[in-house]
Amino acid sequence: MNVIRITRTDEPLFAPLRELYGRAFPRFEQRTFEHQAKGLTADNYFLYAYQEEGAFIGFVAYWAFDDYIYIEHYAISDEVRGKGYGSRLLTELLSNTEKTVILEIDPVVDDVSTKRLSFYRGLGFVENGYSHVHPPYRAEFDGHALKVLSHGRALAPQEYQRFYQDLCGVVMAK
């Protein structure tokens, strides 16, 4: 699997990445194009596209902070979902860092969200019991409740607070 860091919106893989992004996430969970472009200029923001044999597989977008990594968005192309690429991609990311890895998922309310939680648990993620509302990406939407997962262990209260401060002050900075 080839891993390509995306640093500009005019790179060839940005278009298929953005298309998958639009399909994989509801509009209220998406950055605007301008907000995405601004994120690409941040030193601690990493957007990686994955290819195999020339075919676009998926992407991961994360923020690297001093003692943790926050996976903001992650998606695998519909054409290859269920073939192990998602596990491989995350396992590779997890094996290349000693930092705690944090991500968010929708609340568990149906079979799809139950399977999603099971997928992440299978990779070693654990649920955190904090009441968590992700700030809105777009002015026309309110914040939305999500579950915070962390790899290997639950976050201590001060770790969660730091994450939430970084989420509001750095990740969501316009």
| Beta carbons within 8 Å of 115's beta carbon, 6+ residues apart | none
Question: What pLDDT score was predicted for residue 174?
Answer: 64
Model pTM greater than 0.85?
Answer: yes
Q: Tell me the sheet residues that pair with 60.
A: 48, 74
CA distance 32 to 34: 5
**Helix 111-122 crosses helix 85-95 at what angle (to 10 degrees)?**
40
Predicted confidence (pLDDT) per residue in 43-76, tens digit: 999 999 999 999 999 999 999 999 999 999 999 9
pLDDT of 161 > 80? The answer is yes
| Beta carbons within 8 Å of 3's beta carbon, 6+ residues apart | 48, 49, 50, 92
Task: Give yes or no for a contact between 104 and 147, defined as CB atoms under 8 angstroms apart.
Answer: yes
Question: What pLDDT score was predicted for residue 93?
Answer: 95
| Beta carbons within 8 Å of 89's beta carbon, 6+ residues apart | 1, 50, 57, 58, 60, 74, 76
Question: What pLDDT score was predicted for residue 142?
Answer: 93
Q: How many CB atoms lie within 10 A of CB 98?
A: 6
Give the angle 101-104-106 at the CA atoms, nearest 5°. Answer: 155
Predicted confidence (pLDDT) per residue in 13-31, tens digit: 999 999 999 999 999 999 9
Per-residue confidence at 152, pLDDT binned at 50, 70, 90?
Answer: very high
pLDDT of 115 > 80? The answer is yes
Question: What pLDDT score was predicted for residue 60?
Answer: 98
CA distance 126 to 154: 6
Question: What pLDDT score was predicted for residue 82?
Answer: 86
